[in-house]
Amino acid sequence: MSRLSPLHDALTLCTFCPSLCHHACPVAAVEGRDTVTPWGLVSLVHHIETGSVRLTDDVAHTLYRCSGCRACTEACLHGQDVEGILFTARAEAVARGRRPHARERFQHDQAPRDPWWETGPARFHPDPTVLLLPGHRDLVSDATAVRKTLRLCERLDEAELACADASLLDVGYDLWAAGYRDEFALRAERLRQAVGDAAVVVVMSAEALYALKVIYPQVNQALAAQVLHVSDFLLPLLSGAVVSRVGGAVGYHDSCHLARHFGVFDVPRELLRRVLERPPIELRQREADTFCCGGTGCLGITAPQTAAAMSEEVVQMALEAGCERLVTFAPECVGGLRAAAGERLRVDGAITLIDEAVAGDEA
């Protein structure tokens, strides 16, 4: 049976809907085409399911015009899981041999590693109780934020947190998002074994957090460890810490995974309030209404120009709001936003900002 058959009722619902969520979709907004609205994409999947459209490579290509941001789900009266439908349709395309994007593009083990990993991080431990797991390739190729997180924990007297071999492993989110489900399941099994007996896994990437907490259990690879986002881990540590508050006009960009997949708005803002001279500036679209910067759903690999245009929209919102600096708690958002911002706006991971405040003059 096709993976699409169980979705028949959901596919029919969108197909006969007057596209009531199209205004919410960032991909449709920057591409300006009906084909890539949630309605257009789900209708296409419906036609594939009923056999009225043949699943060719070109048709499969269109299925990758979605970042999985869930803005449409938020806008839909029925709460349709468009992300789930499209990512399942990609898996169906891959299973039928329709692969407009080769698997290797979503496997990141060969990505360059920051030499810091090879020389042995100061707080590297083969079997830590609290494992720091970056969870995104950008943090493996440039370990600056990882180093800062470890340094921050030392200054905050957190002695248990350490890196281990598992820290270098890609959690497989892109494989899952791109429809390479068998490869994802193997990756999840490998990572679960590498995590070993850690009691807590602190993950820095928001999409990796989603993978570990939501997708791993779906492939019977749930971690026994408690999985925390780094913001949840740092908030109690910062209580009572001596900080030199950071000045300037700093805005906060909600990542889709933290804000919409997990409904996390307050913890990141509370952390920023504790280290900034004045509260973080709010963008026009924020919290559950945040505008996806195109950094997830493997959109940067499958439709880089679209992803870049989405980042530009977020940068424009930050500039409109008077920001001189924009921070986010998702490393997958940082690269695209930084590239879009250029010299107009400084973009950082929030760890950098917190490290500045706690490190004081040493930063």
Binding site for ligand SF4 (CB under 6 A): 13-14, 17, 19-21, 24-27, 38-39, 41-42, 66-72, 76, 78, 80, 82-83
Tell me the backbone φ, ψ of residue 44, rounded to 5 degrees.
Answer: -60, -45
Closest to ligand SF4 by CB, 9 vs 343, is 9
The alpha carbon of 244 is separated from its chain's Cα centroid by a whole number of angstroms, namely: 29
d(Cα 312, Cα 355) in Å, to the nearest integer?
Answer: 27
**CA–CA dist 96, 63 (Å, integer):** 14
* CB of 85 vs ligand SF4, minimal distance in Å: 9
Upper half-sphere CA count for residue 191 (Cβ side, 13 Å):
31
Residues 238 and 168: beta-carbon distance below 8 Å = no
Closest CB to ligand SF4 among residues 231, 296: 296
Smallest distance from ligand SF4 to CB 269, Å: 23
Closer to ligand SF4 at the Cβ: 68 or 268?
68
Task: Report yes or no: 147 and 116 within 8 Å, Cβ to Cβ.
Answer: yes
Helix ranges (DSSP H) in 3-143:
8-15, 26-31, 38-50, 57-62, 71-75, 82-95, 115-119, 137-141
Q: Which is nearer to ligand SF4, 299 or 347 (CB)?
A: 299
Q: Which is nearer to ligand SF4, 221 or 311 (CB)?
A: 311
| Closest distance to ligand SF4 from the beta carbon of 329 (Å) | 19
- C-alpha distances out from residue 212 to 195, 228, 261, 358, Å: 11, 10, 13, 29
In the complex, least distance from residue 152 CB atom to ligand SF4, rounded to whole angstroms: 33
Q: How far is the CB of 64 from ligand SF4 (least distance, A)?
A: 10
Q: What is the dihedral of CA 310, 172, 147, 271, to 10 degrees?
A: 60
User: Least distance to ligand SF4 from the beta carbon of 262, Å?
Assistant: 15
Pairwise CA distance, residues 141 & 109, whole Å: 11
> Nearer to ligand SF4 by C-beta: 25 or 152?
25
